[in-house]
């Protein structure tokens, strides 16, 4: 465990005027409060807040933030109280510690609705004092650095929460170094084999080509010296998670990726940045579409830099970032730079963003979200997105996430403009509304009276603001239709378990789901925001548990198993009685049952000892076997209700229903049903296919839907 002197020396390096007495007092108080407590690693618990304080000290932060780090777990995990902290350390520090405690108690990895509400509370805490989230981020970083001592299931939960919430939040605040490390630490837990593979490929590449980073950096320095430009050049290999994400996005193997190296050039002033850019582009061929000027168009968190990608040594693509030293300070610390100290004084960096303005910009777009799902979508889209900058015909700049369309542009101007949009011109040329906008383009939106948002726009739009406004308009327009459809779906879902969709039952379910009443419940059922199985689960959870209790029981209608073996149907093919089947033995006593034509069996061709010859018994089965169908039907009132009735008339049960497409003229819906056997499924599909409003019906399975 680091001593208080080590911490004070770290702080004095950037703030000689630090209040050493305050730091020592906080250190001693927290050490006393945490006495006798230990971490999963066996270390004294107090080592954790000390490490968190050191992380923040490395960011040159003020004394109040450092003290908060030392005390951040005292209210939650010790006998210390808010009143005690106020009396000893003052209101400012007590409020900061209390804010961190409240953030710690938020369950950000819980269900989506609760997660969204808690994220809203997180932003509220940040709005009071953004240093609260700085401490929380440092707390999460140290926990991720020592995550190997947690239980495996806890590691997975924390890593997923870090990847979904804390890493992108750090990036949105401009703390890119912290985002990179958090992502890589989470990646190590969530995809250990993938990360190890990428690290091995880097080592192999380094052995084959030598230290490419050093060689390219020397090439850049040589060119800058020829042009008499003073600058510092730094190079590095991209982080494993960054490489893996590119592989997933581009669907390419490691060997096909080219821009796996990054270089940063730091200059003395802005003019030199553009001179460096000229030198780089004259010496190496620029890659089209990979140039971004964040100096002339800074990001909302204050980030400024020029980005370009060129074909460097031996044709390898390299990414180059060019910025001044002051810009780099903000790029490293982000919004935290507002509290940075140097030589005992707050740093006056002209590029630092006022945290109050930053938070205002961050939360403004979320205020129009009319439900927690929309809000969470806003947050995640905004935090993950890179930006492009487009212009209105009058020259106003509109900042949008990468991949945005004219629909997003229209809604960014005003919701009224977005709703009335009928067309767009980009750089004077008419383009489809699904066109992806690029940096520097001029966009003109054409509107018309009477135009209303189309359902297809939800798939076209990228921004949370546009998606939320479109969905709200569609809900308002189709609300009555959704309610009628939802009432039919509720009836079918509850009749499946022998219950009735009474008004009392619907009001009770709405209350448990946090909805305003039965109408909102039915509307969400009809618009596929809520499933029938979820409705049953809310009202009658014991019935769900009873159904789950039947899994992994000894097979009663399959012949060919040993006495102690039990069978499970493969989700990849969902075999039914009447179909030829084969079993694959697992390491335990379980046997996975597949249809004889299942594609998954190809993976076991070399493991014939695991194959078991199985067949179904003769006789009539109960309607308990899962099957999936996909129905494409006309988008008209009553059609889906009629399809549900047809399924019921054939004595099959509807287990779940999910819309995969909802267009102006048709619906496509996946329906999970329970049938007796393959002949029963055929009867159901024939009855549906005979309906005049059904365009197509297909049998699908769980694997198909997951893909």
| Contact in structure between 674 and 625 (CB atoms under 8 Å) | yes
SS3 178: helix
Kindly list the strands in the beta sheet with 590-595, ordered across the sheet, starting from the edge strand earlier in the chain: 558-559, 611-616, 581-585, 590-595, 566-569
* Beta-carbon count within 10 A of 152 CB: 9
Q: Which of 19, 43, 77, 444 is catalytic?
A: 77
Please name the residue ranges forming H helices in 90-130: 91-104, 112-128
| 550: annotated active-site residue | no
Bridging pattern class, strands 653-662 and 292-293: unpaired
- How many CB atoms neighbour CB 220 within 10 A? 24
CB neighbourhood size of 132 (10 A): 25
364 is known as an active-site residue:
no
Q: What's the chain's length in residues?
A: 707
User: Most distant CA pair in the chain: distance in Å?
Assistant: 90
Paired strand residues for 568: 592
- The DSSP bridge pattern shows strands 397-401 and 345-346 to be unpaired
Scanning 513-608, the segments in alpha helix (DSSP H) are 518-526, 532-539, 541-548
The first and second tokens of residue 441, run together, are 């383009």
Spatial distance between the Cα atoms of 29 and 85, rounded to a whole number of angstroms: 10
Q: Among all chains, which residue has been given the structure tokens 């401490």?
A: 135
CB 614 within 8 A of CB 586: no
The Cα 388–Cα 425 span in angstroms is 17
**460-668-371 Cα angle (round to 5):** 55
- 188-191 LR contacts (CB < 8 Å, sep 24+): 189/147, 189/155, 189/156, 189/158, 189/159, 190/156, 190/159, 190/160, 190/163, 191/244
Alpha-helix runs per DSSP H in 389-513:
406-413, 415-419, 457-460, 464-495, 503-512
Q: Which of 43, 76, 219, 670 is catalytic?
A: 76
Establish how many alpha carbons lie within 13 A of residue 239's alpha carbon, considering only the half-sphere containing its beta carbon: 16
Burial (CB count <10 Å: 0-12, 13-18, 19+), residue 574:
buried
CA nearest neighbour of 536 among 568, 578, 500, 583: 500
Distances (CA, A) of 550 to 115, 517, 538, 620, 677: 31, 34, 20, 19, 18
Of the candidates 607, 650, 603, the one whose C-alpha atom is nearest the C-alpha of residue 627 is: 650
Which residues 6+ apart lie within 8 Å of 84 measured at CB? none
Residue (of 100, 93, 94, 68) closest to 81 by Cα position = 94
d(CA 158, CA 163): 9
Q: Measured between alpha carbons, how far is 376 from 130 in angstroms, rounded to an integer? A: 20
Q: Catalytic amino acids?
A: 76-77
């Amino acid at each position: 465990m680091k001593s208080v002197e080590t911490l004070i020396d770290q702080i004095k390096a950037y703030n000689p005027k630090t209040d050493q007495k305050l730091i020592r007092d906080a250190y001693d108080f927290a050490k006393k409060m945490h006495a006798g407590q230990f971490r999963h690693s066996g270390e004294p618990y107090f080592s954790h807040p000390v490490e968190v304080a050191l992380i923040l000290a490395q960011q040159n932060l003020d004394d109040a933030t450092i003290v908060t780090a030392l005390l951040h777990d005292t209210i939650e995990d010790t006998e210390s109280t808010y009143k005690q902290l106020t009396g000893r350390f003052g209101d400012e520090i007590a409020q900061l510690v209390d804010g961190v405690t409240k953030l710690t108690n938020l369950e950000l990895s819980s269900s989506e609705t609760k997660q969204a509400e808690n994220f809203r509370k997180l932003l509220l805490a940040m709005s009071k004092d953004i240093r609260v989230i700085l401490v929380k981020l440092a707390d999460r970083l140290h926990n991720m650095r020592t995550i190997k001592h947690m239980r495996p299931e806890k590691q997975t939960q924390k890593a997923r929460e870090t990847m979904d919430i804390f890493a992108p939040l750090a990036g949105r605040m401009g703390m890119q170094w912290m985002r990179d490390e958090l992502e890589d630490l989470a990646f190590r837990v969530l995809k250990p084999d993938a990360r190890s593979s990428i690290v091995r490929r880097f080592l192999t590449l380094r052995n084959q080509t030598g230290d490419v980073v050093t060689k390219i950096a020397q090439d850049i320095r040589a060119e800058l010296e020829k042009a008499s430009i003073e600058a510092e050049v730094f190079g590095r290999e991209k982080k494993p998670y960054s490489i893996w994400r590119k592989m997933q996005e581009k669907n390419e193997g490691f060997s096909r990726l080219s821009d796996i190296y990054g270089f940063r050039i730091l200059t003395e002033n802005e003019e030199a940045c553009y001179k460096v850019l000229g030198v780089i582009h004259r010496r190496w061929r620029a890659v089209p579409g990979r140039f971004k000027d964040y100096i002339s168009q800074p990001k909302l968190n204050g980030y400024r830099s020029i980005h370009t990608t060129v074909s460097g040594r031996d044709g390898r693509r390299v990414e180059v970032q060019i910025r001044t030293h002051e810009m780099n300070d903000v790029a490293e610390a982000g919004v935290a730079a507002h509290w940075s100290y140097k030589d005992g004084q707050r740093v006056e960096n002209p590029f630092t963003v006022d945290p109050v303005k930053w938070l205002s910009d961050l939360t403004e777009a979320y205020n129009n979200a009319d439900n927690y799902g929309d809000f969470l979508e806003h947050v995640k889209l905004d935090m993950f997105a890179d930006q492009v900058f487009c212009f209105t015909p009058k020259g106003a700049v509109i900042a949008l996430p990468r991949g945005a369309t004219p629909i997003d542009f229209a809604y960014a101007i005003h919701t009224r403009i977005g709703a009335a949009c009928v067309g767009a011109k980009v750089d004077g040329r008419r383009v489809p509304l699904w066109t992806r906008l690029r940096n520097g383009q001029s966009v003109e939106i054409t509107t018309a009276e009477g135009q209303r948002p189309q359902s297809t726009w939800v798939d076209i739009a990228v921004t949370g603001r546009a998606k939320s406004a479109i969905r709200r308009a569609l809900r308002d327009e189709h609300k009555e239709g959704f309610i009628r459809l939802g009432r039919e779906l509720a009836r079918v879902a509850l009749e499946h378990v022998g219950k009735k969709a009474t008004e009392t039952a619907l009001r009770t379910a709405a209350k448990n789901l946090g909805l305003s009443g039965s109408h909102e419940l039915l509307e969400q059922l009809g618009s596929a925001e809520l499933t029938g199985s979820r409705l049953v689960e809310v009202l009658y959870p014991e019935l769900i548990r009873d159904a789950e209790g039947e899994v992994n029981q000894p097979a009663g209608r399959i012949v060919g198993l040993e006495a102690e073996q039990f069978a499970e149907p493969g989700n990849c093919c969902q075999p039914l009685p009447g179909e030829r089947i084969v079993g694959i033995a697992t390491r335990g006593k379980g046997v996975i049952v597949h249809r004889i034509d299942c594609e998954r069996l190809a993976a076991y061709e070399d493991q014939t000892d695991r194959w078991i010859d199985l067949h179904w018994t003769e006789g009539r089965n109960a309607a308990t076997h899962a099957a999936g169908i996909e129905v494409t039907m006309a988008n008209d009132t009553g059609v889906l209700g009629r399809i549900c009735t047809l399924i019921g008339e054939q004595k099959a049960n509807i287990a779940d229903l999910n819309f995969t497409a909802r267009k102006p003229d048709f619906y496509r819906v996946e329906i999970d049903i329970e049938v007796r056997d393959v002949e029963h499924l055929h009867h159901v599909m024939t009855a549906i296919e005979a309906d005049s409003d059904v365009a197509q019906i297909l049998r699908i399975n769980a694997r198909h839907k997951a893909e």
